[in-house]
Chain A
Amino acid sequence: MKSNKPVIFVYVINPSMEILNQVTAGMEEEGVLFEIVECRNEESPEAYALQAATASIIEAGIGMNGQNLRFNQSILKNSSPILSIDNADKGSARIFGSNAARFIKGCSLKL
């Protein structure tokens, strides 16, 4: 489903609320909109990132399976995700969210 707003979709399975909140806080602080979609099938975060990106009109999406995070653009479906963390903690999840937003804004990423 395509939302009319320019949002980064976040497709989540097995959510860790703490980590999810950090990711969205990172995006919000950078001023980029997002929408969370709770999923039912057990799929890889890469797969969800691509599905999320395809649904987004800005063609960017995040896939989260537990604490494993992936960020991708739908154009790049044949290559590895742009951002990728496994077993993210609060700090790295916040930076992950920031970087996803900064990518959309065309800014350089926090290292």
Chain B
Amino acid sequence: MKLIAGVDIGNSTTEVCIGRLKDNKKIEFLCSALTHTTGTKGTTANIKGIVTALEEALGKVNLKLSQLDVIRLNEAAPVIGDTAMETITETIITESSMIGHNPKTPGGVGIGIGEIISIANLDKFEKDKNYIVVIPEAVGYEEAVPIINKFLDYGADIRGAIVQADEGVLISNRIKKMMPIVDEVMYIDKIPFGMKGVIEVAPMGQSIKTLSNPYGIASMLNLTPGETKYVVPIARSLIGTRSGVVIKTPEGKVKERVIPAGKLSISCKNSTETISIDSGADKIMQLINDRGYVEDVEGESGTNIGGMINNVKYSMASLTGQDFSNIRIKDLLAVDTMIPLKVQGGIAGETFMEKAVAIAAMVKTDKFPMAKIAEELQKKTGVFVEIAGVEAVMASLGAMTTPGSELPLAILDLGGGSTDAAIIDKKGTIKSVHLAGAGELVTMLINSELGLNNRIVAEEIKKYPLAKVENLYQIRIENGDIKFFDTPLNTNLYGRVVVLNDREMIPILKDIPMEKIVNVRRNAKEKVFVGNAIRALKVIAAMNDIRNIPNAALVGGSALDFEIPDMILSSFIKYRIVCGRGNIRRTEGPRNAVATGLVMSYGQGLG
């Protein structure tokens, strides 16, 4: 009778399975455990985590490390993934020709047209001209209001105001004439004096109608048809806002341009094709999918994508001790996305949604130097350590213990750096594939599409559901349920959308509606995981037809995600595949597949 441990070192977790091989050659599974992987996967730093997990598992059945007869380590899949983003459009406001930041509390209502004048120069007003007065923060409303009222009394025709501080309502409530007032204009010193401007504020709950219409702007500023064409981007960027300002400057316009974002060179068996990233994700993926089998990918040097591809190759080279020139990118996933970027030339910190392409690349090599880990682990524990089993084979074996599954069985391992799939048929033949694009790409998409600039919060949003804090004692979860609290919540959570992770509520500090965050999260998971699940199964399916796969099990950490398995199952319905989270040995859920496979294959020469 032998006591066997199977150890699976993953990118994030190290999982362990302990079993007993009885004299009748049957395996009795005893227990399992998991812990965070210590150090980078494939290095001796992993040993600390391995020992921790082993001791934890053995402790559950009152056994000791020294009682093990053999420790079986998986041949870690030699795959590293990385991500990059390239923006492919940019918007520039030239000559401060518009203000479109949509402050929360503008003042007054209506439309006003006039020459832009500083409040300090109101004394120079001319009787037959209209004016829009500009008020910097240094002149607070208590000072500004008497000045405006005084000059209104003197006959100055003031039609609107642009204010730096958040005082639009305060000013509007006190001046003698009703006029539209736009406030919270950060860089007020950029506004050109002496030019003609139009300001519009819509009633509460509505959006502006004149400045969001090119003909409206043309009417107000007497534009020629040629000039009207130039204000189309201005009008478009003011759609849906409650307030806006358009200023007629000689060269003033909103310029939108495509940024040359670098090229990708994709090499296959006989040829290399180059494609520009600004062609968009669809064209890039079409090229990759048409090629079938990618030999290598290079990125144009000096671009983000070029940098990322070089970095991921260097990482692999240093991990495996191989030469940089021998490292190859085996797969790439491109996804179209929109990201909110501060627009250049903006006077009030405006952000516009720019087009971008997000890219995940995957590097694969022959092997990780697992022998070193095995040697040191053996020294440390005194137990015989052997490297057994290609990860895909072990995972498939483990997955087969899921009740209700039968061969041929496909497994989908949705990880952090890559999406892996394998299929095992009745003869025991295994076909496997590793694809770029997985958890890390999803986090990056969430981070950039919401403009968070905070990967930690983005990661939390990916993993956990959201709720809106409605008052100090209750939150409304995204599915509609309400949760009550005995003690009042912290005021910094009030009115905010929060992420409900296991231990706490994390406030999202940006003012984004909960529905929007949910959409971005689900969209990212759909584009990456569902898209890749289909891509992966197509590669390993007999004759590349997914309908030839009757069973698929989702394994790995991401299979525990609260919505991904449902999304994948829904999209597979049309292929009639039985697909769901694996349930390893009926007890582990989607975890522990590889570790279980390592124990199962002992003594059977399946390693």
Chain A residues close to B by CB (< 8 Å): 21, 25, 28-31, 76, 79, 82-83, 102-103, 106-109, 111
Interface size classification for chain B: 20 to 34
Instruction: Provide a sorted-by-A list of 22 A–B residue pairs whose CB atoms are within 8 angstroms.
Output: A25-B141, A28-B169, A28-B170, A28-B173, A29-B167, A29-B170, A30-B105, A30-B169, A31-B169, A76-B488, A82-B472, A82-B488, A82-B491, A83-B491, A103-B494, A106-B471, A106-B495, A108-B494, A108-B496, A108-B511, A109-B492, A109-B494
Contact B166 A102 (CB under 8 A): no
Cα-based distance from A3 to B169 in the complex (angstroms): 24
Interface centre among A25, A28, A108, A111 (most CB of B within 10 A): A108
Interface membership of B168, Cβ < 8 A: yes
Chain B residues close to A by CB (< 8 Å): 105, 141-142, 166-170, 173, 470-472, 487-488, 491-492, 494-496, 511
CB distance from B175 to the nearest CB of A (A): 14
CB distance from A23 to the nearest CB of B (A): 13
Residues of B within 8 A of A76 (CB): 472, 488
Cα-based distance from A82 to B469 in the complex (angstroms): 15
Besides the known contacts A29-B168, A76-B472, A103-B495, 19 further A-B residue pairs in the complex with CB atoms under 8 A apart: A21-B142, A25-B141, A28-B170, A28-B173, A29-B105, A29-B169, A29-B170, A30-B105, A30-B169, A79-B488, A82-B472, A83-B491, A103-B494, A106-B495, A108-B494, A108-B496, A108-B511, A109-B491, A109-B495
Contact A108 B495 (CB under 8 A): yes
CB distance from B64 to the nearest CB of A (A): 52
Contact B491 A25 (CB under 8 A): no
- Nearest residue (CB) in A for B183 is A29
CB distance from A34 to the nearest CB of B (A): 13
Residues of B within 8 A of A109 (CB): 491-492, 494-495
CB distance from A5 to the nearest CB of B (A): 16
Residues of B within 8 A of A30 (CB): 105, 169
Cα-based distance from A18 to B168 in the complex (angstroms): 20
Cα-based distance from A82 to B493 in the complex (angstroms): 12
Residues of B within 8 A of A79 (CB): 487-488
Contact A106 B470 (CB under 8 A): yes
Residues of A within 8 A of B141 (CB): 25
Cα-based distance from A25 to B166 in the complex (angstroms): 10
Residues of A within 8 A of B471 (CB): 106
Interface centre among A29, A30, A106 (most CB of B within 10 A): A29
Cα-based distance from A107 to B104 in the complex (angstroms): 11
Cα-based distance from A15 to B468 in the complex (angstroms): 37
Cα-based distance from A111 to B105 in the complex (angstroms): 18
CB distance from A47 to the nearest CB of B (A): 19
Cα-based distance from A108 to B513 in the complex (angstroms): 12
Residues of A within 8 A of B492 (CB): 109, 111
Residues of A within 8 A of B168 (CB): 29
Cα-based distance from A90 to B492 in the complex (angstroms): 22
Residues of B within 8 A of A103 (CB): 494-495
Contact B105 A31 (CB under 8 A): yes
Residues of B within 8 A of A31 (CB): 105, 169
Cα-based distance from A109 to B470 in the complex (angstroms): 13
CB distance from A27 to the nearest CB of B (A): 10
Cα-based distance from A108 to B492 in the complex (angstroms): 8
Contact B495 A102 (CB under 8 A): yes
